[in-house]
Amino acid sequence: MRSSGYQLVMSAMFKGRKGERPPSGTPTSIACHELMDATGVSFPEAHLNASSMAELALGGHEIIGFDTVMPEYSVDQEVAALGAAVDWGDRNMMPDTKSFLYENFEDIAVPEDFLEKPSMRVLLDALAILRRHVGGSAAIIGKAMGPWTLSYHMAGTQNFLLQIGLGETDKVRKMVEQLMPVTIASVNAQFRAGADVVVVADHATGNLISAAHYAKLLLPYHQELTRQIDGPTILHVCGNCTDRLHHFAEAGFNAYHFEWQVDAREAVHTVGDKMVLIGNVNNPQTLLQGTPEDVYRQARYAIEAGVEIIGPECAIPLSTPLENLKAIVTAVREGY
Amino acid sequence: MSEQLDKIKEAIVGGQHNEIEALVQAALDATLAADQIVNQAMIPGMDVVGRKFSNNEIFVPEMLVAAVTMNKGLALLKPFLQQSGAESKGRIIMCTVKGDLHDIGKNLVIMMLEGAGFEVLDMGVDINVDSLIATVKEIKPDVLGLSALLTTTLPEMAKVIEALEANNIRDEVKVMIGGAPVDAAFSDKIGADGYGRDAAEAVQIARQLITG
């Protein structure tokens, strides 16, 4: 019996029985100009309107052939619901937070109707639309920002990181703690709305903070977070995180979505028995500037290394050629 | 004397922002010259910080605190440096290119450049080609530093270089580029003069470009 993309992804998410081929998956944005043209949906409406959001996500499954759909392209849906001013960008520009509400690390006021704010409502409605369209055939992935990334947006990234350097760890912990309910509420609401899996993006990246700081300041919160989340989760942290993979494996997420900078074989060797691995085709050099053959080779390398779900390493550049994305699908369809 | 300079250097490397002012004041009281403190303690300290960052021994929080420490020390020394007419090591304009709002990488480079004695004008983020060209004409920097985090904004770097050529000022300014998606091959491809992998390398590149 031929397995659907949904079956392949969900089986992989629990390290279950392998199907006839590895699944392809996109825990982060695959919005690009050619996909916008093909679906007739562009930015910023794909961030602001539920049916546009869902339409663009469906393109990833129906036009490119990925086994997942993931409708959140920005990192700003929760931040906007918390009251920050967000520039939703345009066809050529991703959204960006324009104001940092808690630069002084004051107590954070989470609106009671946080999930009903327009930026959250649009995401939850888009997930429900996707469930009606591809439930059971493609795995529906939701995405929430973790408390660390939310802190960057609340305090300003540089300001937040400076406090760590200054040894103001109580301040840092307090902010992360206050933002935990936001992530938990967002993730669980996305499950209820129709997500099969939710990605928690929390940018404790290798280029920004040390593994020791992750272990000390964020790992305990990730462990608490995963205890309070109802369904299967993927942790997404960009950058070279080779030095902290073992910590990620203790956090309680089912899977880790990782970059090309982390060698697939090393990732499988280090944490492959504890977590599902998803990734890790390089964006700037391979998907953006390379050929379909380059993409195919990297995807096959990941498959042969034992990475369970194959996809881009992170949100793709908007000018990524569609044929390069299709090369990932070609690689997985060849089977193991 | 060298013990005092060593302590200042160590304070920069260790980010001892609460101690630096007392250490610098003590050095001044001991009649050490301000430019000696900068050139023999603070700049070498920031060089160590840059190397440690490149080697993943320290990360952004520690870099930021080292820069805070450096700036506190420099603030004390500034009046003396101005009195003695200490020369800047060169003039640099830095910005993140059009369409890109990321500034941490650029800010780290600026901190390191200032720590190394360069005079830096920070134009900010999302800077369009026209205002950049106008500023280059006005300020006449030795080096123009362009930063981008997004792959989508890489083509803007090429546009800046094309605009410098179109305005006949390409020979008057060196261009160095950096940012997560940038590499040496891209730098060569668009005709930049130098590429820095990180903030420490950016300082090395700036030194090479200015001293030739």
CATH of domain B91-211: 3.40.50.280
Tens of pLDDT, residues A24-44: 999 999 999 999 999 999 999
Listed residue (A181, A29, A142, A155) closest to A84, CA to CA: A155
Chunked in runs of 10, what are the mean pLDDT values of chain B (212 residues)?
90 96 96 90 90 90 92 88 76 90 84 87 92 95 91 83 96 93 88 91 92 78
SS3 track for chain A: CCCCHHHHHHHHHCCCCCCCCCCECCCCCCCCHHHHHHHCCCCCHHHHCHHHHHHHHHHHHHHHCCCEECCCCCCCHHHHHCCCCEECCECCECCEECCCCCCCCCCCCCCCCHHHCHHHHHHHHHHHHHHHHHCCCCEEEEEEECHHHHHHHHHCHHHHHHHHHCCCHHHHHHHHHHHHHHHHHHHHHHHHHCCCEEEEECCCCCCCCCHHHHHHHHHHHHHHHHHCCCCCEEEECCCCCHHHHHHHCCCCCCEEEECCCCCHHHHHHHHCCCCEEEEEECHHHHHHCCCHHHHHHHHHHHHHHCCCEEEECCCCCCCCCHHHHHHHHHHHHCCC
Q: Can you give the pLDDT at residue B13?
A: 95
Residues of B in contact with A161 (CB under 8 A): 60-61, 64, 104
Contact at CB, A207 and B17, closer than 8 angstroms = no
B139 CA: distance to closest CA in chain A (Å): 28
A217 touches chain B (CB under 8 A): no
pLDDT at A254 over 80: yes
pLDDT value, residue A8: 98
- Residue whose C-alpha is closest to residue B66's, from B2, B19, B120, B122: B19
Q: How far is A243 from chain B (nearest CA, A)?
A: 10
Q: What is the mean pLDDT of residues A186-199?
A: 98
Q: How far apart are CA B136 and CA B142, in angstroms?
A: 9
For the stretch A271-295, pLDDT in tens is 999 999 999 999 988 998 899 999 9
Mean pLDDT score of chain A: 96
pLDDT of residue A203 exceeding 70? yes
The per-residue pLDDT for A179 is 98
Question: Which chain B residue is nearest to residue A32, measuring alpha carbons?
Answer: B152
B126 in contact with A, Cβ within 8 Å:
no
In angstroms, the separation between the Cα of residue B127 and the nearest Cα of chain A is: 14
* A86 CA: distance to closest CA in chain B (Å): 12
Q: Which of A157, A166, A283 sits opposite B151 (nearest CB)?
A: A283
Percent of chain A with pLDDT over 70: 100
**pLDDT value at residue B152:** 67
Nearest CA in chain B to A214: B59
Q: Are strands A86-87 and A96-97 parallel, antiparallel or unpaired?
A: antiparallel
Nearest CA in chain B to A168: B61
Contact call for residues B138 and B173 (beta carbons, < 8 A): no
Neighbouring C-alpha atoms within 13 Å toward the C-beta of A17: 4
Average pLDDT of A324-329?
A: 98
In this prediction, residue B78 carries a pLDDT of 83
pTM comes to 0.90
Among A165, A284, A317, select the one facing B61 at the smallest CB separation.
Answer: A165
- Give me the residues paired with residue A140 across strands: A69
CATH number at B2-84: 1.10.1240.10
Quickly list H helices, B85-190: 104-115, 129-139, 154-166, 184-190
Please give the residue of chain B at the shortest CA–CA distance from A33. B152
Q: Which domains does chain A have, with CATH numbers?
A: 5-333 (3.20.20.210)
In which element (H, E) is residue B58 found?
none
Facing residue for B61 by CB, picked from A92, A93, A209: A209
pLDDT digits (tens, 9 = 90+) for A82-122: 999 999 999 988 898 888 999 999 999 999 999 999 999 99
What are the pLDDT digits (tens) for A125-165? 999 999 999 999 999 999 999 999 999 999 999 999 999 99
Under DSSP, is residue B125 helix (H, G, I), strand (E, B) or coil? strand
Which H or E run includes B27?
helix B20-29
* Contact (CB<8Å) B107/A164: no
Task: For chain B, say whether A319 makes contact (Cβ under 8 Å).
Answer: yes
Residues 71-110 of B with CB under 8 A from A: 99, 101, 103-104, 107
State which residue of chain B sits closest to A287, comparing Cα positions.
B151
For residue A122, the model assigns a pLDDT of 98
Distance of CA A59 to the CA centre of its chain: 18
B111 touches chain A (CB under 8 A): no
Which residues in chain B are classed under CATH 3.40.50.280? Answer: 91-211
Nearest chain B CA: its distance from A335 CA (Å) = 31
Closest partner residue to B151 among A158, A161, A317, by Cβ? A317
H or E segment to which residue B203 belongs: helix B199-211
CA A15 from chain center: how many Å?
Answer: 19
Residues of chain B with CATH 1.10.1240.10: 2-84
Mean pLDDT of A71-80: 95
For range A246-263, the mean pLDDT: 97
